[in-house]
């Protein structure tokens, strides 16, 4: 073997390593700053998102067709079925006991930086919400975050949402008023993938 060929082969691993994408690079790509938004989002810190709750493409065998959203409530994960045995998986926050959505629905509409208005039930459970009865405009302090997918059944709004949150620490927990919370960076990603009319399946224990 010539010196030139030997040097080329030895150099291959170094070249390949130089082209590889590290876990840190992947995190920055997924959770870096979103300056183009009407309300720019700061980058998330790795300390704010546990590795098992980060957005990632995973193997996922399911009977549900491509384009279906599957919410695994007990496991606090949301899967967007990509087909060919793959899904995009996201960590989510879910409703407290007795408040979570059950069964099937579909995405009736989508919104960017949506306005939030507490439901009558939310105001009855927590009177402090009455001060927001007139609605809260979209923005960084809005409980619905950067995007919302409105879940419908039989042409009617169920009042349940898949939405962003300004409380990243709530992801992976059951503490919402029934809606499905996602990191703002993740709900933006899901919003871009999901068309209106997409089927939503909510799995319970």
Structural domain that includes position 177: 23-203
Residue 189 lies in a domain: yes
pLDDT tens readout for residues 102-161:
889 999 999 999 998 878 888 888 888 888 788 889 999 999 999 999 999 999 999 999
pLDDT of 4 reads: 43
pLDDT of 99 reads: 62
**Number of folded domains that form the chain:** 1
Residue 63 lies in a domain: yes
Query: In sequence order, what E strands does the chain have?
Result: 56-59, 69-72, 77-83, 86-91, 94-95, 103-112, 147-153, 156-165, 174-176, 180-183, 199-203
Would you please indicate which residues are annotated as catalytic (active-site) residues? 163, 179
Single out the residue of 82, 24, 87, 20 nearest to residue 55, CA to CA.
87
Residue 4 lies in a domain: no
- CATH number, domain at 47? 2.40.440.10
Residue 2 lies in a domain: no
Residue 74 lies in a domain: yes
Residue 14 lies in a domain: no
Task: Give the pairing type, strands 199-203 and 103-112.
Answer: antiparallel
pLDDT tens readout for residues 49-100:
999 999 999 999 999 999 999 999 999 999 999 999 999 999 999 987 656 7
Residue 77 lies in a domain: yes
Residue 125 lies in a domain: yes
């Amino acid at each position: 073997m010539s010196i030139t060929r030997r040097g080329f082969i030895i150099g291959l691993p170094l070249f390949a390593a130089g082209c590889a994408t590290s876990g840190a690079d992947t995190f920055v790509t997924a959770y870096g700053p979103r300056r183009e938004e009407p309300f720019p989002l700061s980058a998330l810190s790795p300390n704010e998102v546990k590795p098992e709750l980060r957005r990632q493409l995973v193997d996922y065998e399911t009977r549900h067709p491509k384009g279906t959203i599957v919410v695994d409530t007990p496991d606090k994960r949301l899967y967007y079925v990509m087909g060919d045995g793959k899904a995009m998986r996201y960590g989510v926050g879910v409703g407290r006991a007795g408040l979570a959505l059950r069964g099937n629905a579909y995405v009736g509409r989508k919104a960017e930086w949506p306005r939030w208005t507490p439901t009558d039930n939310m105001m009855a459970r927590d009177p402090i919400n009455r001060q927001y009865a007139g609605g809260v405009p979209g923005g960084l302090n809005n409980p619905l975050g950067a995007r919302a997918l409105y879940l419908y059944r039989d042409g009617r709004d169920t009042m349940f949402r898949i939405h962003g949150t300004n409380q990243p620490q709530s992801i992976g927990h059951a503490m919402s008023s029934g809606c499905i919370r996602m990191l703002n960076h993740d709900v933006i990603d899901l919003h871009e993938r999901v068309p209106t009319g997409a089927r939503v399946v909510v799995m319970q224990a």
